[in-house]
């Protein structure tokens, strides 16, 4: 796997967003989605005094990013963990608060580019899709064993697939003949199951089904629901969080957590708002920031990216 092919998405915007929080001495930043270490390398380079904690559930990603970040020595601590385990990781490292947190959600370039992982619908591969290949059920197991109603729910909820019933009917019919093992058969089935009109828009017709399976296999939205509030809680006052999302489900969840943190929770009739009701966050973006046209031209994987940020402005008051 060539690291030179890996281009971190919206890198400059992420660095600029986190910069005010990382300027001080002994600042700690957590890269919750280490991947191949592109964002982490840039953070360690731009902020020479910063200490980085990098998390990833993918052991191969940890190995490759470990090689990349080796020149930074003890400034980088890499941990095999899912990002909702952030509080436990910080506790083990004796870090009650951190100054910066970065999430780059979705599938890493390495996972997409490595044919054997089964994430990409453009090439035939075993239907695995686990980010941590040592745990959990594979996409093939989901396809072959889940009841039809549950598959329809997953495709609708996680893939926003309007043709979910039609696709699932075809899957159930085919899996009775022979279990699913490889991605090409699933892609072909989806193409054949969809009406012509549905195939004319939105790129590869298998895209939404593959997204839904990946989210289910890795429990991505459930993990994110726990991880974003935990990351906000871990921030010191003046600390900043930046989150890159790649589909509306993730972005909506991030937006909701940030908006709740930036709102007063006081009953409307109070003339003076006590501290415990005052906002804990200040939003750093109006809506979500988008990649530039130039970046999308250079790196097509940046196209769906949405960046949101927030700054911790107040401690939690019990």
Known binding residues are 37-39, 56, 83, 104, 111
Q: How far apart are CA 185 and CA 229, in angstroms?
A: 39
The DSSP annotation for 212-276 comes to HHHHHHHTHHHHHHHHHHHHHHHEEEEEEEEEEESSHHHHHHHHHHHHHHTS--S-TT-SS--GG
The whole-angstrom separation of Cα 156 and Cα 173 is 19
Please give the angle made by the CA atoms of 11, 14 and 17, to the nearest 5 degrees.
Answer: 150
Residues in the annotated binding site for S-adenosyl-L-methionine: 37-39, 56, 83, 104, 111
One DSSP character per residue, 141-169 reads HHHHHS-HHHHHHHHHHHH--TTHHHHHH
* Euclidean distance between CA atoms 94 and 193, whole angstroms: 54
Cα Rg of the chain, angstroms: 21
Residue 309: name the closest of 201, 228, 220 by CA. 228
Pairing type for strands 235-245 and 281-283 reads unpaired
Report how far residue 184's alpha carbon sits from residue 253's, in angstroms, rounded to the nearest whole number.
Answer: 32
The tokens 């594979």 sit on which residue? Answer: 138
| Sequence-distant (≥ 6) Cβ neighbours of residue 231 within 8 angstroms | 30, 32, 83, 86, 101, 103, 241
How far is 226 from 18, CA to CA, in rounded Å? 22
Three-state DSSP at 283 gives strand
In sequence order, which residues have a C-beta less than 8 Å from that of residue 100 and are 6 or more positions away? 18, 21, 22, 27, 28, 29, 30, 43, 50, 239, 240, 241, 242
């Amino acid at each position: 796997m060539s690291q030179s092919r890996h281009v971190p998405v919206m890198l400059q915007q992420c660095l600029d967003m986190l910069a005010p929080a990382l300027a001080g001495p002994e600042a700690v930043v957590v890269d919750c989605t280490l991947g191949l270490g592109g964002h982490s390398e840039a953070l360690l380079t731009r902020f020479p005094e910063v200490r980085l904690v990098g998390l990833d559930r993918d052991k191969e990603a940890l190995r490759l990013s470990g090689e990349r970040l080796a020149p930074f020595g003890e400034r980088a601590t890499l941990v095999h963990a899912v990002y909702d385990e952030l509080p436990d990781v910080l506790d083990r490292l004796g870090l009650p608060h951190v100054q910066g947190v970065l999430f780059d959600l979705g599938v890493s370039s390495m996972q997409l580019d490595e044919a054997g992982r089964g994430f990409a619908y453009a090439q035939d591969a075993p239907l695995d899709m686990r980010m941590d290949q040592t745990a959990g059920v594979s996409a093939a197991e989901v396809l072959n064993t889940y009841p039809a109603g549950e598959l329809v729910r997953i495709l609708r909820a996680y893939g926003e697939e309007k043709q979910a019933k039609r696709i699932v009917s075809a899957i159930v019919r085919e899996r009775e003949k022979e279990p699913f093992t490889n991605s090409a058969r699933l892609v072909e089935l989806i193409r054949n199951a969809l009406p012509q009109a549905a195939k004319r828009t939105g790129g590869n017709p298998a895209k939404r089904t593959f997204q839904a399976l990946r989210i289910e296999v890795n429990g991505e939205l459930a993990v994110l629901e726990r991880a974003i509030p935990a990351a906000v809680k871990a921030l010191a006052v003046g600390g900043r969080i930046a989150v890159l999302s790649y589909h509306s489900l993730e972005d909506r969840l991030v937006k909701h957590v940030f908006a709740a943190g930036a709102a007063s929770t006081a009953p409307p009739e109070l003339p003076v708002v006590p501290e415990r009701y005052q906002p804990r966050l200040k939003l750093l973006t109006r809506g979500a920031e988008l990649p530039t046209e130039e970046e999308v031209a250079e790196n097509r994987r940046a196209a769906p990216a949405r960046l949101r940020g927030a700054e911790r402005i107040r401690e939690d008051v019990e």
